[in-house]
Amino acid sequence: MELKRVVVTGLGALTPIGNTKDEYWDALINGKSGAAPITYFDTENFKTKFACEVKNFKVTDFIDRKESRKMDKFAQYAMVAADEAINDSGLNLDEVNKLRVGVIWGAGIGGLETFQQEVLNYAEGNGSPRFNPFFIPKMIADIAPANISIKHGFMGPNYTTVSACASSANALFDALNSIRLGYTDVVVTGGSEAAVTIAGMGGFNAMHALSTRNESPETASRPFDGNRDGFVLGEGAGALILEEYEHAKARGAKIYAEVAGGGLSSDAYHMTAPHPEGLGVVEVMKNCLENAGLKPEDVDHINTHGTSTPLGDVAELKAISKVFGGHAKNININSTKSMTGHLLGAAGAIEAIASILAIEHGIVPPTINHTTVDENIDAELNLTLNKAQKREVNVAMSNTFGFGGHNACVLFKKI
């Protein structure tokens, strides 16, 4: 059976540095940081007092009050980004065969704030369980794609992939395969997360995973820098419309790029620590190239997982050197997490969007906040430090890795 070709025809982004796809891109190429002191709760007793929150977002500008009340923020963000992507795609929702439109979403956690609030209410009560009837349906990670399908009547495959910070790259790969195999014509895919909460910050702080650079939040996310000290938690959503190539051509759709292939692997090593030699990461990039039918020399740009943690960044770059050999130094490598922070289950989606827009505009966004060389990093690699670089990008790779050792990688190609 011949696989169908799959293209990207719509994008939507709600991020800590921009609330639409265009604002997001503008912030990316201008090296804007989304980090600031947390406004959602009192951080006095927290080790880390900052994060990359979504800013100036009023849900009722997009979703009516009654509906929005039944959604955790992670589901609200999903709905808003998906709507932007659907509009951007120009799909005529009255004409498209909705039986063949799927929604395959990624979320690492789901409704963490809802969970936290309901359990707190219980703890403060008299022991009688007075849980809100919307508690479970608001919290579960699969409710985001459910809400999107309910709004638009999309009756194709509908589910959420959960692989921590690789979740939305997993979703993208599943969306690609669904269309490739002929199960669907269109898939709304992407991911969302809203974990900037007491439980989220407290939990990640307990793991020593977060930067504690409280005196300078905007420079705290510094992937590949010698003084990096952990990731910065972010939140938001990214949405992509994937469409079968002939379907897109037939309706004269704007095509951003082709989804050339994807790869998956597992470290099979540790719950949270990356494999020191990046073995699973080597495998995932190799898988991805093979799946896309591309050679290492074809790749112009890699949007790394690059979270700004001491171990993870070095392991990933070692893996890149291993997979790409001498060509590694020709690649524009970056980490847009230096600007957005780490959006967990939404990271794969917003970074896929950054990679696709790099192809579209011929500009690679920078890795900001680099001031100190890390001697464990090969000085020959071009990490696109501090300033965006003009670069014809024909093929871009986006890496994501999740706690649990889940690795997912997607390749996009100019069309």
Partner 1 sequence: MSDIASRVKAIIVDKLGVDENEVVAEASFTNDLGADSLDTVELIMEFEKEFDIQIPDDQAENIATVGQAISYIEAAK
Catalytic residue set: 165
- Contact letters (x/-) for partner 1, 396-415, by CB under 8 A? --------------------
Q: What is the rounded CA–CA span in Å between residue 295 and residue 286?
A: 9
Q: What is the rounded CA–CA span in Å between residue 164 and residue 378?
A: 28
Query: What tokens does 222 get?
Result: 């510094």
What minimum distance in Å lies between the beta carbon of 65 and partner 1? 5
Query: What tokens does 108 get?
Result: 């690492």
Applying CB under 8 A, the span of 36-44, 126-134, 172-180, 190-198 interacting with partner 1 comes to 126-134
What minimum distance in Å lies between the beta carbon of 130 and partner 1? 6
What minimum distance in Å lies between the beta carbon of 359 and partner 1? 43
Q: Which is nearer to partner 1, 130 or 390 (CB)?
A: 130
Binding of partner 1 at residue 330 (CB under 8 A)?
Answer: no
Q: What is the rounded CA–CA span in Å between residue 243 and residue 153?
A: 17
Binding of partner 1 at residue 134 (CB under 8 A)?
Answer: yes
Applying CB under 8 A, the span of 60-68, 155-163, 208-216, 319-327 interacting with partner 1 comes to 60-68
What minimum distance in Å lies between the beta carbon of 47 and partner 1? 35
Q: Which is nearer to partner 1, 134 or 183 (CB)?
A: 134
* Three-state SS at 313: helix
Q: Which is nearer to partner 1, 58 or 65 (CB)?
A: 65
Binding of partner 1 at residue 120 (CB under 8 A)?
Answer: no
Q: In what order do the strands lie in the sheet with 186-193?
A: 158-161, 101-106, 186-193, 236-244, 6-14, 257-266, 406-413, 395-402, 301-303, 332-334
Applying CB under 8 A, the span of 90-98, 133-141, 281-289, 344-352 interacting with partner 1 comes to 133-141
Residues paired with residue 303 on neighbouring β-strands, in sequence order: 334, 398
Binding of partner 1 at residue 137 (CB under 8 A)?
Answer: yes
What minimum distance in Å lies between the beta carbon of 315 and partner 1? 46
Within a 10 A sphere around the Cβ of 114, how many other Cβ atoms? 25
* Three-state SS at 4: coil
Enter the DSSP assignment of 115: H
Q: Which string of b and e fits 85-94 if b means at least 16 CB within 10 Å?
A: bbebbebeee
Binding of partner 1 at residue 58 (CB under 8 A)?
Answer: no
Q: Which residue in 87, 132, 371, 372 binds partner 1 (CB under 8 A)? A: 132
Applying CB under 8 A, the span of 8-16, 87-95, 130-138, 389-397 interacting with partner 1 comes to 130-138
Angle CA 14–4–152, to nearest 5: 40
* Nearest residue to 198 (alpha-carbon basis) of 42, 363, 395: 42
Backbone dihedral angles phi then psi of residue 231, each to the nearest 5 degrees: -90, 165
Q: Which is nearer to partner 1, 65 or 95 (CB)?
A: 65
What minimum distance in Å lies between the beta carbon of 66 and partner 1? 3
Q: Which residues bind partner 1 (CB under 8 A)?
A: 64-67, 69, 130, 132-134, 137
